[in-house]
Structure 1
Amino acid sequence: MITLDRPCLENIIMPTQLIWFRQDLRIQDHSALWHATQQGQPCIAVVILSPEQWQIHHDASCKINFYLRQLKILQQHLLEKNIPLIVAQVNLWKNVANYMLQLTEQLGVTHVYANAEYAVHEKQRDDAVLKVLSQQGKKFQLFQDHTLFPAKSIRTQSNQPYKVFTPFKKVCFERLQYSIPKCYPDIETQQRITLQNDIRQVSIDDMLTQYPVSEYMLQQWPVGESIAHEKLYEFTQHQVKQYKNQRDLPAIHGTSRISAYLNIGIISARQCLQALFQPYHGEFVLSDKGIETWLSEILWREFYQHIMVDYPKVSKSKPFKDETARLAWRDAPHDFEKWAQGQTGIPIVDAGMRELKNTGWMHNRVRMICAMFLTKNLLIDWREGERWFMQHLIDGELAANNGGWQWSASTGTDSAPYFRIFNPVTQSERFDPEGTYIKQWVPELASLSAKQVHAPFEHKIGHIEYPKPIVDLKSSRVRAIDAFKNL
């Protein structure tokens, strides 16, 4: 439903350029915004909110709240550049094309600019917009912005897409050594404009009331480009050199925690690279393993975006490895519920799932442990876990979330054999040796020693209010291996 709001300025001049913001809520280093403002014509901006589509895509309430809070800041920053931002509501993407046609006709717009998005539904939406606008002689231009390298530009010697990360990364390193992608300049303040007709809009504040979050989440995830850049600067200047040694330790703040900001485009991947190599005057210098390891993580994000373009089946809930579609997953809703609520009896898994539910985030090492426990030890379909993560993650992003789940389930691009199965107890002993992380999120175990806390079921201890394991780790590992052998 679209509600009516009043125009805010007097009519001065009619815009002819429209910038469509999507997952790119910033004004710095924004490809489509910069190109639109270079045409010598006044610009106006639009954001289309689609609550029913968010539900279809299982977007987390905390992620939507984060998006809307940043949208308020973007609107103010654009007004400072004399660019009004229309905030519209079109519940389903299948109706966006007609809305865009009506809006461009109402505004007298001849040219629409946006940054390309690569998932199947996003591409279908944009193809429909291109068709209806072209039929009316209007232009719809998409720019490469979400990735460092254009889609379909990283290829093998036989001109095929890469299916494995390591050789993909090697090519990226070679290209970055030759040239690091530059950020776009800041845009100029344009002549003040307004809208000639009443434009239907929705209130961001009213929308925010539909997606409430805790005060804790508001404090943990502040919005704004300046906030994002402070976090990026702090990490690249003071923490990145310890990243390789600290990134797998969930009890400490050893990662950048900028994934949520990257996901909705508060900062760009280009800006991440500029910050990373700023101490080296923009030269590609891998002076230590910390820098190289964090760059590899940025490129994992890149890799999964490219995979989604070259293999669109992964954004249609299909496995990357076709043969794994025959896997006999267990139908075990009771076990899934225990996993989802952090009541499996495996402390590191329960800690991660409770962290997710309470904060909208989970440490990456723990994400892998939790995902592998669900798909291998419980032998539950990875798509159920992928959906649950999307429903709760503030940084939930289709390509990365899908890629991570398929990696853990051995249905994806990972080159390691299917019988690589994490033992969650061994993982927790290695990466949370004192049990600090476990005790934070599973306080029932706070009185246990560092030796006991990883597997209380293996020790003779007094009564504690904590469940016994819902599955035997050894026998369930054998069950998973047999299931893959039978493909």
Structure 2
Amino acid sequence: MLLWFRNDLRSHDNPALQYFLKNNTCNTPLKAVFFISEPQWLLHDWSTIKIDFIKRHAAALVEELAPFNIKLDLVNVDSFGDQIAYLRALCEQEGFQEIVANSEVEFNEQQRDNAIVNLGIKLTLFEADVIVPKGKVLNLSHQMYKVFTPFKRAWLTYVKQHGFDYLGKLQSTSQASLSPTVQSPDSISAHWPLVHEVEKHVLPLFFAEKISDYHDQRDIPSIKGTSGLSPYLAAGVISPRYVLMSLINAYPDILIASDSEEFSWLNEIIWREFYRNLMFHEQRLCKHQCFNEKYQAVAWHYNDALFDAWCQGKTGYPLVDAAMRQLNQTGWMHNRLRMVVASFLTKHLLIDWRLGEKYFMSRLIDGDLASNNGGWQWAASTGCDAQPYFRIFNPIRQSERFDPKGYFIRKYLPELASVPDKNIHFPHTLIEKNKLNIYWPPVVDHKEARLKALAFYKV
């Protein structure tokens, strides 16, 4: 039997790993494999910081599995086709009758798995990326919910009635340490600790000190008010079931306390479940098709200069520009700002949401196809339970509301450090009066852009 790690580089609450150990009784070292397929990942627009983050966790998992008598090989191959060929040859050479892995929801990954099965190789799959098994939360017509709120209600009902299959942590009889070797501080993802540190310190600290203020502070980009779990969930190095179990242990009534401050954080976890279920039911989303098919023929504008200004953070709208600078410099962007910049690209510049989706994936450490696609289609009004097309974020009002003193703006736009608070959100009047010559004028006028967007979407 061969264990195949994919988007699940963890020993904690890993159903494929537990099945593998339970059904292997031989004394010789057990065999596991993880493919480092950078060319394939780059074809899927993965960022270099996410790839580095995954490679760090893969190296740590090699050490972590040693006490369980599992030898994890990290194999460099270029493509999914090379993965298939490698597994076929390995099964023939070693006599493996079964490969065990956790399932992946994306279309190309499922096609790869089907190709392996078609070779006559037994592939046993488990589900490890969601709390409630995909396909279990359905409406009265036994179909996927198209609106988030009723999905959330049904999801909560399911969890309260059926619970969820959290498997816990593996216990080794070996005296070897389970603490991974300290990684190089030169790593481009070094700012993000390994998941063991997150489980031991970061998550408990968030529950103890931050989650009670999450509802009020989650939209303020100058405050570190979020949990920072998204890269770990996107890479599969932390279990969503463990996250929920930890939350319930800290707040036992959380599943029924929908009006509590803490529930607003759980709400974000359920959004993740919603988007993964959506991709499970609608595989065409993996091919970047609009969920709402009537928008499939939209004649988006393709203006390279405007798109480049958006990418570089040179739109003339400080909050948009600061947010893009944050993304480009750190590989992460505050969630409120993701909505602001996505709305700006699709409704102020009328540029195809797919270009923004691709750019985000190529920069984000927490790039996840289901969540990224869902978020972009929400902002572009082309998706499931999306923002109505006539709801257009005003980047100036968003700035005044969520960064009133300009702390976040000044952090990423130091050229505006001396601009007074009253002008920080839209300093174009200073530019017109030649009192500011180190910032650029707005690429579009908000009022004009809004009217154009309304007419554009109506057509």
TM over 0.5: yes
Q: Does residue 56 of the first structure (1) align with residue 43 of the second (2)?
A: yes
Residue in 2 that maps onto 1:44: 31
Residue in 2 that maps onto 1:235: 206
Q: Which amino acid in 2 is paired with 1:28?
A: H
Q: Kindly report which structure 2 residues correspond to 1:61-460, keeping only aligned pairs within 5 A, or say none.
A: 61-132=48-119, 135=120, 138-189=121-172, 215=186, 217-280=188-251, 284-286=255-257, 289-459=260-430
Q: CA deviation at 1:180?
A: 3.6
Cα distance in structure 2, aligned partners of 1:330 and 1:214: 43
- Contact kept in structure 2, 1:228 and 1:261, CA below 8 Å: no
Residue in 2 that maps onto 1:32: 16
Any idea what SS the aligned residue of 1:226 has?
Answer: helix
Q: CA deviation at 1:368?
A: 0.5
Cα distance in structure 2, aligned partners of 1:72 and 1:158: 46
Single out whichever of 230-239 and 337-346 deviates more from structure 2.
Answer: 230-239
- Contact kept in structure 1, 2:317 and 2:442, CA below 8 Å: yes
Sequence identity, in percent? 40
Q: Which amino acid in 2 is paired with 1:97?
A: I
Q: CA deviation at 1:182?
A: 3.9
Any idea what SS the aligned residue of 1:238 has?
Answer: helix
Any idea what SS the aligned residue of 1:326 has?
Answer: coil
Cα distance per residue 1:193-249 (max 9 Å; x no partner): xxxxxxxxxxxx9xx9xxxx9959544212232334422211122211111111000
- Contact kept in structure 1, 2:234 and 2:368, CA below 8 Å: yes
Q: CA deviation at 1:375?
A: 0.5
Cα distance in structure 1, aligned partners of 2:151 and 2:239: 20
Cα distance in structure 2, aligned partners of 1:41 and 1:374: 56
Q: Which runs of 5+ in 2 are unaligned?
A: 175-180
Give the count of matched residue pairs.
448
Alignment partner of 2:437 out of 458, 461, 464: 464
Q: Which runs of 5+ in 1 are unaligned?
A: 1-16, 192-204
Q: CA deviation at 1:451?
A: 1.3
The TM-score with structure 1 as length reference comes to 0.88
- Contact kept in structure 1, 2:40 and 2:78, CA below 8 Å: yes
Runs in 1 of length 4+ with deviation above 6 angstroms?
Answer: none
Any idea what SS the aligned residue of 1:479 has?
Answer: helix
Residue in 1 that maps onto 2:177: none
Any idea what SS the aligned residue of 2:40 has?
Answer: helix
**Residues 103 and 189 of structure 1: CA distance in aligned 2, closer, same or farther (over 3 Å):** farther
Q: Which amino acid in 1 is paired with 2:376?
A: W
Cα distance in structure 1, aligned partners of 2:145 and 2:230: 24
- Contact kept in structure 1, 2:52 and 2:189, CA below 8 Å: no
Cα distance per residue 1:112-157 (max 9 Å; x no partner): 111110111111011111221xx2xx42111011011222211110
Q: Does residue 479 of the first structure (1) align with residue 452 of the second (2)?
A: yes
Cα distance in structure 2, aligned partners of 1:424 and 1:322: 28
Q: Which amino acid in 1 is paired with 2:14?
A: H
Q: CA deviation at 1:357?
A: 0.5
Residue in 2 that maps onto 1:6: none
Cα distance in structure 2, aligned partners of 1:265 and 1:413: 24
Any idea what SS the aligned residue of 1:411 has?
Answer: coil
Cα distance in structure 2, aligned partners of 1:190 and 1:106: 31
Q: CA deviation at 1:68?
A: 0.4
**Residues 239 and 288 of structure 1: CA distance in aligned 2, closer, same or farther (over 3 Å):** farther
Any idea what SS the aligned residue of 2:70 has?
Answer: coil
- Contact kept in structure 1, 2:49 and 2:189, CA below 8 Å: no
